[in-house]
Amino acid sequence: MVKLQILLPAAVLLCGTVINASLSAASLNIDTDYRMRGISFTNIDYDNTTSSDTAAYYSQRLQLSITGKPNPDVEIGARLTAIGVAGSTTTFFAVPYSRTDFTPYVENAYFRINSIAELPIDIIAGKQTMEYGDGLIVSDNGTGFTGFRILGRYRWYVPLQAELFTAKIKDSFRQGSDIDLAGAVGSVQWKQHTWELGYFDVQDYSGSKYFRGTNAYDTKAIVKEYYDIRIGRKENISSYQFEIAQQKGYVTRTDNAQINLSGLGYVAQGELIGEKTKLGKVGAHALIAVFSGETNLGAFQDDNSFSPTLTRRYDGLERSGYGELFAATPTDGFLPLPGSYSGIDTLNIGAKFSPLYAWTLGVDYFLYSASQGPNGAPTASGFERIFGAEFTLGVELDLSVKYAYSKNIETRFSFNRYTPPKFETLWPKTEPDTRYQLEMAAKF
């Protein structure tokens, strides 16, 4: 009740602010998005003989989005978000959000001007969602980045689009002591394909830790540049996407020692859809994600692991990645890994079935591996080694069932099981870790 008393006045204040700013608006839209999950983990330590290795909680997220248009070329928007774990003030895992006690905060607050001076150029300014592609290199993870974006459009034989952007990820109000993001993305549509080139620059002068193996170093600067190519095509019965990215940069430690950074990663994924089969609508999909690992763990050696700082890791509260439980990213997963592993690779195959109206059944199998790992670790399978993996990291099975009550309300239940590799030094026990999740979501 206390949280509701806080949330409602804040929502009214936000509505009043936006409505006042767009008093003569041609349109005013208010959207709500509420999600609640019940999550239970069992056998977190991979040992069935212990009894204190479980965790269970409820999580919830409420988003209130308000968009006003004083005229067709001007848009003012804001999003108020509240997230919490059973009303608690803490979570049992680290998250990047400023509040997790269901106290509302402003996730987005921006304005957009379209077709400036009747040119095909748009400007978006303020705290806004920034995620490019699937968030492999840049994602705000639901926190919003404050900055500017300039978008341009032009048709010359084929549709062209380009974007320039800059944002503050962390600002200490002291020169040379913050984290900045800048970049450019250009895309073209040609023969039903989307071709996209991207450049991303992340400069961290905030004194962040630089992790290398099991060591952590204080830094003066961590500078990373990414050159990214994405190619994709989407049709009614099929889609595919291929992305390859190269990382360059350097780390300057507090003792002025400099480490050069490099890395390479690629993700290939595709889907085939059958609309009318004996099992109803069926979709089959596959994914391969491969990232370079750290081959030299020496303090003054170059680091050639692909390690995007701003990669997508969260879906609004829970971890997000390849697999619902392990949730792999290029450098880590939800389940902790020894520091000697790097370059986390994933092979995934799965399918979705809709045998009955409003019901969808899903099954996914994930095979995890690492490009680099400790001496004596179990090696990857022959199939994984074809794609550059060297050491196995276990497997995951995800099963799900979803019921869409309407286009605005749905319920989903999932079962996830992760089995680690057999490695006496690091994983003396290898019984599977499991998670059960029940989710209800509503959008209006």
Nearest C-alpha neighbor of 270 from the set 348, 368, 187: 348
pLDDT value for 87: 55
pTM, whole model, 2 decimals? Answer: 0.88
pLDDT value for 338: 78
Encode pLDDT of 242-269 as tens digits. Answer: 999 999 999 999 999 899 999 999 999 9
pLDDT value for 20: 53
CA distance 180 to 241: 29
Encode pLDDT of 154-165 as tens digits. Answer: 888 888 999 999
- For the chain, give every domain's residue range: 1-80, 115-443
pLDDT value for 300: 63
Nearest C-alpha neighbor of 328 from the set 306, 343, 316, 349: 343
Q: What percent of the chain has pLDDT over 70?
A: 91
Q: Give, in order, the Cα–Cα distances in Å from 51 to each of 42, 44, 46, 289, 424.
A: 9, 10, 11, 36, 21
- The answer to whether the CB of 241 falls within 8 A of the CB of 258 is no
Q: Where are the alpha helices (DSSP H) in 200-299?
A: none
> Is residue 211 predicted with pLDDT exceeding 90?
no
pLDDT value for 46: 86
User: Quick one: pLDDT band at residue 422, thresholds 50, 70, 90?
Assistant: confident
The amino acid occupying position 413 is F
> Is residue 60 predicted with pLDDT exceeding 80?
yes
User: Quick one: pLDDT band at residue 273, thresholds 50, 70, 90?
Assistant: very high
pLDDT value for 11: 46
CA distance 140 to 165: 14
Q: What mean pLDDT, rounded, does the chain reach?
A: 88
The amino acid occupying position 40 is S
> Is residue 414 predicted with pLDDT exceeding 70?
yes
> Is residue 214 predicted with pLDDT exceeding 80?
no
> Is residue 4 predicted with pLDDT exceeding 50?
no
User: Quick one: pLDDT band at residue 299, thresholds 50, 70, 90?
Assistant: low
pLDDT value for 190: 86
> Is residue 120 predicted with pLDDT exceeding 80?
yes
Helices (H) and strands (E) in the chain, counts: 2, 20
Encode pLDDT of 355-389 as tens digits. Answer: 888 999 999 999 999 998 888 888 887 777 777 78
Q: How many CB atoms lie within 10 A of CB 238?
A: 12
User: Thinking of the domain 115-443, which architecture would CATH place it in?
Assistant: Beta Barrel (2.40)
The amino acid occupying position 75 is E
User: Quick one: pLDDT band at residue 89, thresholds 50, 70, 90?
Assistant: low
pLDDT value for 22: 43
CA distance 3 to 199: 42
> Is residue 117 predicted with pLDDT exceeding 90?
no
Under DSSP, is residue 106 helix (H, G, I), strand (E, B) or coil? strand
Q: What percent of the chain has pLDDT over 90?
A: 59
> Is residue 213 predicted with pLDDT exceeding 60?
yes
List, in sequence order, every beta strand (DSSP E) within 314-420: 342-354, 359-372, 391-404, 409-419
Encode pLDDT of 24-56 as tens digits. Answer: 447 899 999 999 999 999 988 888 888 777 888
